[in-house]
Amino acid sequence: MNPSKRSKRARSRSWSRACAFVLAGAALLSTRPASAWDPSTTHAAMTREAVIRSHMHVRWMDGSGLTRGVFTGVRLDPAELDPEVSRALRVAMRRVHEASGGAPLGGPGACPGPSAPASTQARCVEGDVWEMTALGWIQLGVVLETAPRNRLLHHFANGSDPSAATWSDPELPAAVLRGKARRAEGPLARSANRSAFAGGATSAVAWLADRTDPWAPPAALAHLQAAETATDPRERDRELALGLVGLGALLHVVQDQSVPAHARGDLTAFFAPLSPTPGDRGLPLQELVRVLYGRNHVPGALALSPRDASARQRPLAPTLHQHLLGHGDYPGLTRFTQGRFLSESSLPAPMALRDAGLDGTQAAAAILGESHGLDSAEVNGAELTPWPASSGYLRSSSGRGLAAFDTDEEGRTRLFLDRRVYRDQAAHLIPAGIEASASILDLVFPAFPTHTVEFDSGVIDLDLTAGPFAPVLSVMTQAPDGRRTVVQRVKLRAGERNHIVDAFPAPLADDVQLVLRIEGSSAPEHGLPQVATATPHRAAKLEAPSTTAPRTEPADTPTPASAPEAPAEPVPEEAAPVESTRGPSQTELISPYPEAKSDAAPSEKAPAQPPAQTEGETDTQTAPPTDTQTDSKSAE
Amino acid sequence: MLATLTACSPIVRDARFVGARDQVADVTLEGPFDGQIVDATTAEPIQGATVVAVWSYDQGDGLLGPAGSESVEVKTDQAGRYRIPRAPMKVRGTAVRLVAFELVAYKRGYVAYRSDAVMQGGARTDFTLRQNKIQLEKWREADSHADHLLFLAAPPVIQQLTKWERDQANLDLYRAQGGEGAGSGPARGGDEETPTEDTPKMELLDARGLLPPDEVRRRTGYADAFDVKDLGDLARTHFYHGVHLQAVERDETFDIAYRVWKEPPGGLDSVQETFEATLPGVEATTEITDQTWVYDSEDVRAVAFLDPETSVGLLLTCGVQQCVDIETAIILAKFAADHLDLITMETASETTATPIESAIGGVPR
């Protein structure tokens, strides 16, 4: 580049940043380009890793008698979908990369008929039905968050207050941002999908509770709840598929919080030139990670303590918000990323430092100023090294590179992010994103509480000392054709053992499967709605024991003694109210988002329930076992 | 008109593969592609293997996202050959980019093939545009259907062909994650998986000789016994072995663990990335080799090094009661570094390793 030209360009802060972008882009171009936190590679890999590292699969398998796991095929009939939902899925399916694991089999036109050549049946499932593994539906949800592109706008956090409900990028006027957002999707598509952008948008934190978005957590969790209670197996499949797509969307939003530009509300960073071609712009970090790691290889951290390797049981936080904003010792993914890493457009401005007689630490403090937004742990002791020098790195006290620096034509020290800093960011942030994602999966799919079932007498003992809060047990029977019927819904006591007599009409017919489902909340207030399912088997029919314990209990969770053989005294309904709803009304969900029921709400599409089972109309009583019996007597 | 069409043509990213082996050839994601599929053991051509070529597009200016794929499916002929025409390039529009090409090959009874990755982990580096040679490995009893499906991320046509693996993959992953309800023995499906005399046995890395308990006691002054176990969080493979010296009747601050990678498929770069992710903020030094990381915390001390000569990476962690200072941990790591020739291989049947997670990657997943 011509030095005189460069000198002219270096007169404004924004131009300095642009140069940094160009340098970064040039660095990217010098790498072997190709495969991209892009949905098809990095997000796909992070999601896969999160699923594998979470307990989701084991809990699904345990809860289904080993019949359902993350590789189980789940079917969805487009004819049964709300038109808007169907359209969104079709758009996502058109956009997903076929070799990324999120492209389904089947769909409209995939089965041309028996007279058609065999080669045309290669994608046929049945009729117009789509089919994909559970993991595949989650991966599709990750892609759905990019279609239309304006969905990406709720992937940002407020740069100055990560808990704020909105964000905006103050670096550029809103009109410019609107233009950029428009170009990101194309004017026609933008007009069609009405993705007006006023320079700011709903933040990721606020989106977590968005009751208007059919793919936001409230709707997704409602689908997952309905996936257990719906009568018809086909309907359960549909609800599960929709819930998993929503879960994929959630994971995408969460994983984006491990990108500094997202966590700092830095939309400008996404418009760095990636090649000399006009309009070829993107986020340098995203492109570099795609090139470096591809789909099958993302950096991951190892447990340093050998005995901790299999002890990752408890979610990092009890709510979705706290996964982003922190809980206890866990800083929260958004706060961690925002407070520890710089993004392209949130770098401090260039400053003349070399002749100021400062040492490396003083120079670092001077150039960082007050508006860097970094945690004090990163800033205290930070230094420019080597110093004085024309180029080097701004390092935190731990030695980590926060940014690179060089000297512009005016002799000012200028910060930018180079390949080495990006690699360091990726090495820290991708594992953090995977960890948060896996934790959320563990939160959404909790272990079914330790329980015993007496099939001969209809007695169920449940240990709820490890949660959830506000538990409600649904006792269901499943016929050989897969149809489920709710027999009882029972409010339980949280934090203690529950003894339920006459829980189901005993003995059950040999071909009837007992299904237990517990709904609850992950926290006393603002907790995540949770559902866990178990299909206890009679010992003679399956090798698995009828008592299914969580694989490992948290260290501070006491293991309860075995349940008493005889039912304890009944507890009056005032103390332990029992919902004796039966028949069709039983499928009504106890949703923590009751007002969220939208067109996509699952229960509205549920076919009518079969007639109630009269056997279920026995008195249902809950009573604590012997160790809590005193309390129940007091209640009497 | 021409200008309009040109403006709407996709930007084509550079290919990550080469044109052909041992000769100069143009290389582009667009193709065309050709090659041959053979049995890795017998070198016999494999006829009727399904080969799916997938071109993937992105779109957007700034906020990028996937813009779909184009795919072509062919079967190999009697000579095991396949030919893939040039990309249809029907995906057009402003800011469209052809970003990737993947070739996926599948034949039941074999481990599938992807042009961008290897099942054992890391990126594939031997794919060529022309005269590509694909050597399919026969399916082995010890192979995991879960790892296979995760690796494949199959395009729809291949999904149809691999549906039969799903139930087995569920069980494989369940066992690998320590599920208790599936029994301990292998439960295999599919006739072709039945092991025969010809079925190659799985070779596993054995690093137990690298740091014997006696050598540890000699250097740390610890007098009591260790149980020598495999670290359970990552699958032991032909390139990875994690060894756990668990102090008997002591808490974990007396434990030592070391993880060894030897000639990992993704190369030592992937191991280095794992070290850097595991030991945050640690700068490489020349303490043991030119690439050594030393980490000291309240609970654990860790030393990691890469030895490019032997293509070995080692991460040693030592509880603070066993290694009273970081120098002790460094001494132990140095001892291991001096005895890398004691790393051996053994066959899977000789082992009792029970991985909790599988290790697809050149680095643990």
- Each residue of B153-164: pLDDT tens digit? 999 999 999 999
- Residue B16: its chain A contacts at CB < 8 A? 32-35
DSSP state, B365? -
Residues A300, B317: C-beta atoms closer than 8 Å: no
Q: What gap in Å lies between CA A50 and CA B214, rounded to an integer?
A: 39
Which CATH code is given to the segment(s) B2-141? 2.60.40.1120
Confidence of residue A312 (pLDDT cuts 50, 70, 90): low
Q: Which amino acid is at A27?
A: A
SS (H, E, C) A80-109: HCCHHHHHHHHHHHHHCCHHHCCCCEECCC
Q: Please say whether the beta carbons of A272 and A284 come within 8 A.
A: yes
Quote the radius of gyration of chain A (alpha carbons, Å): 28
CA distance A532 to chain B (A): 17
A120 and A112 in contact (C-beta within 8 Å)? yes
Give yes or no for residue A585 having a pLDDT over 60.
no
Nearest-CB residue to A398 (from B11, B97, B281): B281
**A-to-B residue pairs, Cβ atoms closer than 8 angstroms:** 289
Residues of chain B with pLDDT > 70, as a percent, come to: 85
Cross-chain Cβ contact A105/B156 below 8 Å: yes
Among chain B residues, the shortest Cα distance to A270 is held by B62
pLDDT at B103: 97
Tokens of A486: 């709710």
- CATH code of domain B203-350: 3.40.1000
Say which of A103, A294, A424 has its CB closest to residue B156.
A103
Model confidence at B7, pLDDT cuts 50, 70, 90, reads: low
Q: What is the reported pLDDT for A356?
A: 79
Residue range(s) of every CATH 3.40.1000 domain in chain B: 203-350
Q: Do A294 and B123 touch (CB under 8 A)?
A: yes
Stretch A493-508: mean pLDDT: 92
Nearest residue in chain A measured CA to CA from B361 = A297
Biggest CA–CA distance in chain A, Å, is: 91
Q: How near does any CA of chain B get to the CA of A354, in Å?
A: 26
Interface probe with A: pick from B159, B165, B228, B275, most Cβ of A within 10 Å: B159
pLDDT-based confidence at A307, cuts 50/70/90?
A: low
Chain A, 139 to 178: residues with Cβ < 8 Å from chain B are: 139, 143, 146-147, 149, 152
Work out the mean pLDDT of chain B and round it to a whole number: 84
Phi, psi of B74 (to 5 degrees): -135, 165
- What stretch(es) of chain B map to CATH 2.60.40.1120? 2-141
Nearest CA to CA, how far is B161 from chain A (Å)? 9
pTM for the structure as a whole: 0.77
Q: With left for phi above 0 and alpha for psi between -120 and 50, is residue B131 left, alpha or beta?
A: left
**What value does the mean pLDDT of chain A take?**
77
Q: What percent of chain B has pLDDT over 90?
A: 57
Joined tokens for residue B60: 């957007």
> What's the N-to-C CA distance of chain A in angstroms?
86
Contact between A238 and A131 (Cβ < 8 Å):
no
Q: Is the ipTM of this complex over 0.90?
A: no
- Minimal CA–CA distance to B290: which of B275, B301, B277, B305? B305
Decide if B90 contacts B8 (C-beta within 8 A): no
Please check the confidence at residue B46 and state whether its pLDDT lies above 50.
yes
What angle is formed at CA A293 by the lines to CA A289 and CA A298, rounded to 5 degrees? 100
Rounded to 10 deg, the angle between the A419-444 and A333-340 helix axes is 170
CA distance A305 to B14: 42
User: Considering CB atoms only, which of A49, A61, A275 is closest to B174?
Assistant: A61
β pairing state of A392-395 and A401-407: antiparallel
CA distance A69 to chain B (A): 5
Other Cβ atoms less than 10 A from the Cβ of B7: the count is 12
Q: Which chain A positions have a beta carbon within 8 Å of B281's beta carbon?
A: 396, 398-400
User: In this model, does residue B122 exceed pLDDT 60?
Assistant: yes
Chain A residues touching B123 at Cβ < 8 A: 294, 296-297
Collapsing DSSP states into helix, strand and coil, what is residue B329? helix
Closest by Cβ to B170, choosing from A35, A71, A184:
A71
pLDDT classification of A592: cutoffs 50, 70, 90: very low
Tell me which residue of A274, A43, A294 sits closest to B102, measured CA to CA. Answer: A294
Cβ–Cβ below 8 Å for B154 and A296: no
Nearest-by-Cβ selection for B100 from A35, A72, A103: A35
Distance from the Cα of A197 to chain B's closest Cα (Å) equals 13
Is the Cβ pair B64, A133 closer than 8 Å? no
Sorted by sequence, the CB contacts under 8 Å of residue A367 that are 6+ apart come out as: A348, A351, A353, A384, A394, A405, A413, A415
CB atoms within 10 A of CB B219: 17
Taking the CA of residue B325 and the nearest CA in chain A, the distance in Å comes to 16
The pLDDT of residue A612 is above 70: no
A540 has a chain B CB within 8 A of its CB: no
The size of chain A, in residues, is: 636
Residue A387 has pLDDT above 80, yes or no: yes
The answer for residues whose C-beta is within 8 angstroms of residue B227's C-beta and 6 or more apart is B244, B245, B246, B248
- Count the Cβ atoms, other than its own, within 10 Å of residue B19: 15
- pLDDT of A288 > 50? The answer is yes
Enter the tokens of residue A220.
Answer: 């997704």
Average pLDDT over residues A437-461: 93
Tell me the nearest-neighbour CA distance from A304 into chain B, angstroms: 6
Dihedrals φ, ψ of A191, to 5°? -65, -40
Q: Evaluate the omega torsion of the peptide bond into residue B32 and state whether it is cis, within 30 degrees of 0.
A: yes
B-facing residues of A in 21-60 (CB < 8 A) are 32-36, 38-40, 44, 48-49, 52-53, 55, 57-58
- Chain B residue numbers touching A279 (CB-CB < 8 A): 61, 94-95
- Asked if the model's pLDDT at residue A635 lies above 50, the reply is no
Task: Report the residue of chain A nearest B273, measured CA to CA.
Answer: A299
Pairing of strands B226-230, B291-296: unpaired
CA nearest to B145 within chain A: A71
A383 shares contact with chain B (CB less than 8 Å): no
Residue B123 confidence (pLDDT) above 80:
yes
B100: chain A residues, CB-CB within 8 Å: 34-35, 40, 97, 99
Question: Is A541 an interface residue toward B (CB < 8 Å)?
Answer: no
Place of tokens 């208007």: A212
CA A103/CA A286 separation, integer angstroms: 22
Residue of B nearest to A61 (CA): B174
Predicted confidence at residue A119, as pLDDT, reads 75
Determine whether the interchain pair B181/A98 forms a contact, defined as Cβ–Cβ distance below 8 Å. Answer: no
Q: Please say if the pLDDT value at position A292 is more than 80.
A: yes
Distance from CA of B50 to the nearest CA of A (A): 11
Q: Which of A228-237, A364-373, A551-560, B127-136 has the lowest mean pLDDT?
A: A551-560
Of residues B65, B163, B180, nearest to A147 (C-beta): B65
Q: Quick check: A331 pLDDT over 80?
A: yes
The side-by-side arrangement of strands in the sheet containing B291-296 is: B226-230, B240-247, B256-262, B312-319, B300-307, B291-296
Of A179-193, A206-220, B258-272, highest mean pLDDT? A206-220
In whole angstroms, how far apart are CA B65 and each of A185, A255, A281, B73?
Answer: 10, 15, 12, 25
Residues 6 or more apart whose CB falls under 8 angstroms from that of A349 comprise A13, A16
Q: Which ranges of B153-294 does DSSP label H, i.e. alpha helix? A: 156-162, 166-176, 213-220, 268-278
From the list A95, A302, A309, the residue facing B67 with the nearest CB is A95
A380 in reach of chain B (CB within 8 A): no
Residue A501 near chain B (CB below 8 Å): no
The answer, yes or no, to whether residue B292 has pLDDT greater than 50, is yes
Residues 6+ positions from B29 with CB-CB distance below 8 Å: A34, B12, B13, B14, B15, B55, B87, B98, B99, B100, B101
Nearest residue of A to residue B93, measured between CA atoms: A186
Nearest C-alpha neighbor of A338 from the set A375, A393, A377: A375
Q: Is the peptide bond before A524 cis (omega within 30 degrees of 0)?
A: no
